[in-house]
Chains A and B, each alone.
Chain A
Amino acid sequence: MTKDSSEYLIERYNNVYEVVIGLEVHAQVTSNSKLFSSSSTTFGAEPNTQVSLVDAAFPGMLPVINEYCVKQAIKTGIGLKAQINKRSVFDRKNYFYADLPQGYQISQFKFPIVGEGTVILDMENGPKEVGIERLHLEQDAGKSIHDMDPQNTLVDLNRSGVALMEIVSKPDMRTPDEVSAYVKKLRSIMRYLGTCDGNMQEGSLRADVNISVRIKGSDVLGTRCEIKNVNSIKFMQMAIDYEANRQVDLIEEGKTIDQETRLFDTKKNETRSMRSKEDAHDYRYFPDPDLLPLEVTDEFIEKLKLDIPELPDEKKKRFIDKFKVSPYEATILVSDIDTAKYFEEVVAKMGKNLDIKLAVNWITGELFAVLNNKNLEISESPISAKNLAKLINLIKNGTISGKIAKTIFELMMDGDKDPQIIVEEKGLKQESDPKALEALIDKIINDNREKAIEYKQGKEKLFGFFVGQAMKASSGKANPQLINEILKKKL
């Protein structure tokens, strides 16, 4: 098996297979109330406390579309550079389950609200386009809880009726890395738009993964299997790896692949058949007679376009053009809207001393390391952009050295302390007075006469020794540049 980031191929004897992947991402719409009722959507509430009569499908209760959710779906469509359909239709998808109170899910089948679009992935070896087939609005189901009561299944309807966007990609992905990049990019776009918080732990973003394999170079699609409801990028990648190899093995053994729905067992790291095509539900889709077709005007869409913020691709381009950062750095800075905001705030606060390189390095280096260690989002950063900008400015204007800055950075984490105050309190100001430094160096040379002579005789390595002694004598506060200059002169 070859496994580098640009190619993911499976080799068996003389055959080389490529993997074809498409994703159906279910993204929970950021909205205070549900798709067809006014119940709250807050995550983690007591079971069955956010359920209206509509959500619990009481007799005679009727759905009324939440306009805000429609706007959110259209904004997402705009973010995916997709066709917005001015007329869409809600259908009923009929099936029985304990956590589906109506006995049907209201979804959009034939006429989705958003049509074809594109997402650009920033891969190491260049950009890659993934086509979007469609985006439609639908209701989420409740939750069945099987492990709380030995006799019964318990049902929590808090999630019942929450708005989801199902975003269906074209089968354009070929590697687990592309899948990862695709999910991250979708998440990023939706977070920029404020249409989905992308929180995979809370189930706000989950995906069904469609996989098939074929001999590399073939343009015929193989029989696909759908892996249902995978809720982390890591699991998606593991599932793809397992499933692609399973399919290749079947082909190599001369067997055929059954089109089926499979589940990924995260403990055993394998996929298992859930139901075959023959057992597939007949959902008996038909237009929901309780709802009129959803019609939006051009003006409605145009008004929403005014609300669209600068999205990651545009921001990346601007960062490269304006700040001269590398495409790689730009990708990192824009990947999350909060990182981009943080960076731009640092830049703004640095003012006339602006040093982009330094700002990028501090954010992607020291700050990211701390966030990673503490498992924090940048929005929860213990050091504000304002204070990080101050710190960088202190380096820039020679008040402190880069080394001292690192010490101060550590101290700043305790309550987002102002670095200027730390410098003053701890007396960490850099010693840049040439006279004081000359005196200090004279003393060192005096104390180490033999080494000074050796240096003069050509043992140049000893220069570092003298720098070290000077820094030590100044408790690290000496301006390293001045030390260098003075040492060179005196030795």
Chain B
Amino acid sequence: MSDITSLTLTDLVKSIKDKKISSEETTKAFIDRGEKSRDLNSYITEDFSNAIDKAKAFDQKPNFDLKLSGIPMAVKDLFCTNGVKTTAGSKILNNFIPPYESTVTQNIWNEGAILLGKLNCDEFAMGSSNETSFFGNVQSPIDKGLVPGGSSGGSASALAANLTPITIGTDTGGSIRQPASFTGTVGLKPTYGSCSRYGIVAFASSLDQAGPMSKNVKDCALLQEIISTYDEKDSTSINFKRNAYSKELTNNIKGKKIGIPKEYTVDGMPKEIEDLWTKGIEYAKDCGAEIVEISLPHTNYALPAYYIVAPAEASSNLARYDGVKYGFRSKGENLIDMYEKTRSEGFGEEVQRRIMIGTYVLSSGYYDAYYIKAQKVRKLIKNDFDEAYKKVDAILTPSTPSAAFKIGEKTNDPVSMYLNDIFTVPVNLAGLPAISIPAGVDAKGYPLGLQIIGKAFDEQGILNIAYAMEEKIEFKNKITDWWIK
């Protein structure tokens, strides 16, 4: 077994079950590659020696009945992990060690997986390039100086660079799908209420969803099957019948109706994105799907509505980071002074910007004009999708309006940065599931993704379409290991 780290999750699981390789060997291979890849800055916290101990313990008493027997993996640093530092990419949680485990990660460990460490992300998941992290920006393994996308940038980078066989991210406005698209990987944002939010550092509660990021659709289905559980500890968790996504995965999508929303053609969209979309439509047809033109008339209002709702919730969610109970505290003359210094020094610029926007739109006198109106827009966007789904089974769009950009290229232009989420945010506002799969490259050879949006709770449907199209697309990520000296 020459290169363990380039195996898919499915193959790794099989190799360990077949006793071709041990958990320890596997874990060491990923750790070894991780240590050589520190220039990517994918990790915030490495938990390598614990991981090896756990792998040894697994090998001594292996349980092969689990779905992730002895599989090492790293997770986004937004998931609270019992006894392992959890920072959310922020200085304000720089020293925070949770005495509890998020439901999603607990589900993963329950299936026999082993934590490698915590992956870098935009501060409190606010960003589209992983440049807002207190722990520095993350390099994309695709090319030097390229952003991996965000906010799950560390996850995407680590996955594409083979530092972890699979990973999880969180997606509030595209934070799984956009970095997946930028790094030639697969990312699924499940239906709101599918994965428990318990123990995930909150950004915008009504939009946040955890989801799998993987090298292929099959791995994605397997992880989704594990992390999606009904959880009484999250009042917004929904008790619906969950499929055995990996077992029920099929490439037979004959007769499936796939909608193409005309409003997703935006001004100034590069031709290569349009071409990719056209190519995607052809692939879908090749798979036997029927293409239907649809309209999502309120798409234009999604981004402004999102940038009201998400900051509003964030401004309140982040009020708990006040220096009183845990995390970073700055000395102050009095309580107010301590608050001001703690929060000014503890939060980065982008987080402060969003707290200010959120505080403003909730203020008396502005609440109706902004927050209430945004909620109305949100309803209209949901209605658009409901109408469309009377005619189609799924919707196909590009994942992003462009390929990955250079580090520093957009940091001084927040609006241009926000525009990155234009195809992904409507999905969060409507609470729908959507998957991004790699489908091609731009002129520079940077990956581009296609997004398949499903009906609520129909993760199986979009996984199947993605699975069928993946076969036709035959995308191969070209990673040169340029960062390894």
Contact = CB atoms under 8 A, between A and B. Distances in A.
A286 B316 contact: yes
B118 to A, nearest CB: 13
A215 B41 CA distance: 74
B405 interface: no
Contact of A103 (B80, B86, B320, B367): B320
Contacts of A102: 319-320
Given A289-B204, A290-B236, A101 B362 contact: no
Contacts of A62: 197-198, 233-235
Interface stretch (B181-189, B321-329, B448-456, B465-473): B321-329
A62 B198 CA distance: 6
14 contacts: A59-B93, A60-B201, A64-B232, A64-B233, A65-B235, A94-B316, A94-B319, A101-B324, A102-B319, A153-B335, A282-B363, A286-B312, A286-B316, A290-B205
Interface in B331-349: 335-336, 339
A304 interface: no
Contacts of A98: 324, 335
Contacts of B93: 59
Interface string B298-336: 000000000000001101101110101110000000011
Contacts of A360: none
A278 B367 CA distance: 18
B235 A291 contact: yes
Nearest to A153: B335
A60 B124 CA distance: 11
Interface stretch (B14-22, B56-64, B96-104, B408-416): B96-104
Contacts of B325: 56-58, 101
B364 to A, nearest CB: 5
Contacts of A60: 80, 98, 102, 197-202
Contacts of B359: 284
A65 to B, nearest CB: 7
Contacts of A101: 320, 324-325
Contacts of B100: 53, 58
A440 to B, nearest CB: 82
A300 interface: no
A104 interface: yes
> Which of A58, A64, A101 has most chain B Cβ within 10 Å?
A58
A137 to B, nearest CB: 15
Given A53-B99, A155-B324, 14 more contacts: A57-B320, A57-B325, A59-B96, A60-B98, A98-B335, A102-B320, A103-B318, A103-B319, A103-B322, A284-B359, A289-B205, A289-B206, A289-B236, A290-B236
Q: List 8 A-B pairs, minimum CB-CB distance, nearest first.
A: A103-B319, A289-B205, A284-B362, A289-B206, A57-B320, A60-B199, A59-B201, A60-B80
Contact of A59 (B98, B313, B316): B98
Residue with the highest number of chain B CB atoms closer than 10 Å, among A57, A62, A285:
A62
With most chain A CB atoms within 10 A of its CB, the pick from B199, B200, B318 is B199
Interface string A48-63: 0000010011111111
Contacts of A282: 363-364
Nearest to A281: B364
Interface string A276-312: 0000001011100111100000000000000000000
Give the dominant DSSP class at A's interface: loop
A386 to B, nearest CB: 47
A111 to B, nearest CB: 14
Contacts of A289: 204-206, 236, 313
A262 interface: no
A59 B98 CA distance: 8
B369 to A, nearest CB: 14
A331 B377 CA distance: 57
A252 B452 CA distance: 73
A429 interface: no
A104 B202 contact: no
A174 interface: no
B222 interface: no
Contacts, number: 94
A290 B236 CA distance: 7
A192 B229 CA distance: 43
B88 interface: yes
A96 interface: yes
Nearest to A283: B364
Contacts of B312: 286
A87 to B, nearest CB: 15
A62 B200 CA distance: 10
A185 interface: no
A53 B326 CA distance: 12
Contacts of A316: none
A92 interface: yes
Contact of B98 (A58, A104, A286): A58
A92 B86 CA distance: 26
Nearest to A157: B325
A286 B371 contact: yes
Interface string B90-121: 00010010111010000000000000000000
B236 A59 contact: no
A429 to B, nearest CB: 68
Nearest to A60: B199
A121 B192 CA distance: 50
Contact of A63 (B88, B206, B235): B235
Given A153-B335, A282-B364, A286-B371, A292 B319 contact: no
B205 to A, nearest CB: 4
Contacts of A96: 319, 322, 336, 339
A292 B97 CA distance: 30
